[in-house]
Structure 1
């Protein structure tokens, strides 16, 4: 009996981001072009659709904020390069917003399949609303999926990049709804002696031995 083909494996947090080379609105682009900087790589279902248009306006709005954080922005859908160019030109013409970040044309679906951007149970012909945050070493650090019907909260994407960069630079974790300037979580002690020492640390606010916060 023939077995059904295995579905493609989605990239996981902590693994290398899959390498690719593809045509984009800024010319041929490769994942390695972004090495050394952070990258928010997202997919949208289709050009010339209303929810995707609202998202491109929102991504354009945070583009400079991400760049200020050393983070680039890259979009993708299973559309032709001509459709991408026509759509971003229409957005500028009708809505007055210029799309400065590149958008990958993936008619072959090769990149979308590498990143598990197609959810066949939802649509076999469109990419879902996926977001991959990739660090300067080109490791996947966060993954978010939204359904076709729900536009993303781009403010959360900026917050997520802030949190990941703070974790890397300060060796801490961030609590729910954390924003820059809020207290951070100190990693929990892993020995009894360390827990006792933590309780004596005047620079740390401990609600319990395992739950301690501090200001940066």
Structure 2
């Protein structure tokens, strides 16, 4: 195996050496971390909630400041979806505290206390564990600019979405919420998928493996089939879900 790949999937948890990845469907390990709201053990902190983990290469960076602020403003929207938020940055806890004060000053519409914890990861060990950085590059400040990942994790600790952003492009909070809505819906109704630009209330797509008879039984009177030049009827939609 290529050593670079090997480094990127190695992690140490509680002194035990383990190998894992952050591909879709894999289980996030029960890591421990120091945060702005005290120490956490991930599974205990998560409980029965969904989780968004989003990461940053440093404190006091302009794009990241806007992201943490807008997500804080939208905290009630995450709560509606039974979803906790967990930020990660590679600086010390005391720097995080000062950064939070800047974020609250810049995004003055954050209600009350800053609503979610920020992990302190000055050694970048968690960044390596989350496959944002390889072990042999964790002390390389230039390589650490790649620590711009976002994961959506279900209550059974599985990764359902991963997105990596460059430093120059801020995350869209509405898109994160839209993805949570889609993932939660399609987890509940495993016979559907959501199309491009979908938002709750719009039509969904019935998966091709569902027969026409089964589709009519599941969604009586609300199945629409699109006629295509190929003659195939793989695009079927419904608004009853």
State the match for 2:102 in structure 1. 90
Ranges in structure 2 where 5+ consecutive residues have no aligned partner: 10-20, 228-232
- 2-structure distance, mates of 1:17, 1:25: 21
State the match for 2:76 in structure 1. 64
- 1-structure distance, mates of 2:73, 2:130: 25
- 1-structure distance, mates of 2:214, 2:128: 49
Does the CA-based 8 Å contact 1:14-1:139 persist in structure 2?
Answer: yes
Decide which of 182, 206, 215 is 1:163's aligned counterpart.
182
Residue 117 to residue 197, structure 1, CA distance change in 2 (3 Å): closer
State the match for 1:22 in structure 2. 33
* Deviations 1:155-184, CA, capped at 9 Å, x for gaps: 100000000011012222111111000011
Instruction: Count residues with an aligned counterpart.
Output: 211
State the match for 2:207 in structure 1. 187
- 1:60 Cα deviation (Å)? 1.1
Higher mean displacement: 206-215 or 134-143: 206-215
Does residue 43 in structure 1 map to residue 55 in structure 2? yes
Higher mean displacement: 117-126 or 14-23: 117-126
- 1:123 Cα deviation (Å)? 2.9
* Deviations 1:111-153, CA, capped at 9 Å, x for gaps: 1111012375993344522100000111000000001121111
* Deviations 1:2-60, CA, capped at 9 Å, x for gaps: x8553313411001013210100000012102031100000012111111111111111
State the match for 1:206 in structure 2. 225
Decide which of 80, 95, 100 is 2:115's aligned counterpart.
100
Q: Give the TM-score, by structure 1 length.
A: 0.88
Ranges in structure 1 where 5+ consecutive residues have no aligned partner: none
Does the CA-based 8 Å contact 2:66-2:103 persist in structure 1?
Answer: no
Q: Give the TM-score, by structure 2 length.
A: 0.79
Higher mean displacement: 128-137 or 57-66: 57-66
- 1-structure distance, mates of 2:214, 2:49: 37
Higher mean displacement: 108-117 or 76-85: 108-117
State the match for 2:13 in structure 1. none
- 1:210 Cα deviation (Å)? 1.4
Residue 39 to residue 117, structure 1, CA distance change in 2 (3 Å): same
Does residue 110 in structure 1 map to residue 129 in structure 2? no
- 2-structure distance, mates of 1:26, 1:50: 23
